[in-house]
A and B are shown apart, each in its own frame.
Chain A
Amino acid sequence: ELKVEQNPLFLSMQEGKNYTIYCNYSTTSDRLYWYRQDPGKSLESLFVLLSNGAVKQEGRLMASLDTKARLSTLHITAAVHDLSATYFCAVDSGAGSYQLTFGKGTKLSVIP
């Protein structure tokens, strides 16, 4: 059974600071996804990571994937209040299956 663990689950940080959210998963997988959810809203896709060493960046967010360590990171650079949201990683079960398992999410609050 695939398990996906995110940490921290809650993160309060000041504007301008850097921080990293971690996503560990328990079995070999082909794909890892990051999503953002604003309070009371639906989910928005941020990144799709498909191979070992993949790195993608969008604005102040950068995601990377280490398939050997079964670890993905979402790095936040110089946080701004608009980044306050809950961030989820999700991993597919591999072998061509598209069954997705999500982490519990990291609720990020950026304080002015």
Chain B
Amino acid sequence: EAQVTQNPRYLITVTGKKLTVTCSQNMNHEYMSWYRQDPGLGLRQIYYSMNVEVTDKGDVPEGYKVSRKEKRNFPLILESPSPNQTSLYFCASSSFTLGPQETQYFGPGTRLLVL
């Protein structure tokens, strides 16, 4: 089954404790992206990756890091989480090779609470 998986799905942590949210897709997609969703603010893009070893900043990259060492994985790293990073996080992927059918597939989301 084609899917994007995220782990963990729920996480409570404390300020300053480094954490990683994993994202993996099994569709051989080139493009992967991370978003955060906050009430009243909609979705905002954090980072995206066009392919292995190619990453770029979205609208709100501060406080986050990413890496793309393998095509299927795109982890989101919070080196020193702060309470303002409490949010719902989504990973997504899509293919460039399907032409106009560049549908993004979203993961189930990771709900993060930073105390």
Residues of A within 8 A of B (CB): 31, 33, 35, 42-45, 48, 50, 88, 90, 97-105
The answer to whether A102 and B58 touch (CB under 8 A), given A42-B109, A45-B105, A50-B100, is: no
Which chain A residues border B48 with CB–CB below 8 Å? 98-100
- Tell me if A103 and B42 are in contact (CB < 8 A): yes
| Given A100-B45, A101-B59, A104-B40; A45-B104 close (CB under 8 Å) | yes
Residues of B within 8 A of A43 (CB): 43, 90, 92, 104, 106
- Any chain A CB within 8 A of the CB of B102? yes
Offer 27 A-B interface pairs, CB within 8 angstroms, sorted by A: A31-B102, A33-B104, A35-B104, A42-B109, A43-B43, A43-B90, A43-B92, A43-B104, A45-B104, A48-B101, A50-B100, A88-B42, A97-B56, A98-B48, A99-B56, A99-B58, A99-B59, A100-B45, A100-B48, A101-B45, A101-B59, A102-B35, A102-B43, A102-B45, A104-B40, A104-B41, A104-B42
What residues on B are CB-neighbors of A45 within 8 Å?
A: 103-106
User: B31: CB under 8 A from chain A?
Assistant: yes
Closest 8 CB pairs of A and B: A104-B42, A102-B43, A45-B103, A43-B106, A42-B106, A102-B42, A105-B42, A50-B100
Which B residues form the contact surface with A (CB < 8 A)?
31, 33, 35, 40-45, 48, 50, 56-59, 90, 92, 100-109
CA distance A44 to B31 in the complex (A): 17
Give the chain A neighbours of B106 by CB distance below 8 A.
Answer: 42-45
The binding surface of chain A is classed by DSSP as strand
Q: Specify the chain A residue showing the minimal Cβ separation from B109.
A: A42
Give Cα A83–Cα B44 distance, bound, in whole angstroms.
Answer: 24
Question: Which residues of B lie under 8 Å from residue A105 when comparing CB positions?
Answer: 42
Using Cβ atoms and an 8 Å threshold, which residues of chain B touch A97? 56
Query: A40: nearest residue on chain B (CB-CB)?
Result: B109
A88's contact among B33, B43, B59, by CB below 8 Å, is which? B43
Most chain B CB within a 10 A radius of its CB, from A42, A101, A103: A42
Chain B residues near A48 (CB-CB < 8 A): 100-103
| Alpha-carbon distance between A75 and B85 when the two chains are bound, in angstroms | 35
State A88–B58 Cα separation when bound (angstroms). Answer: 18
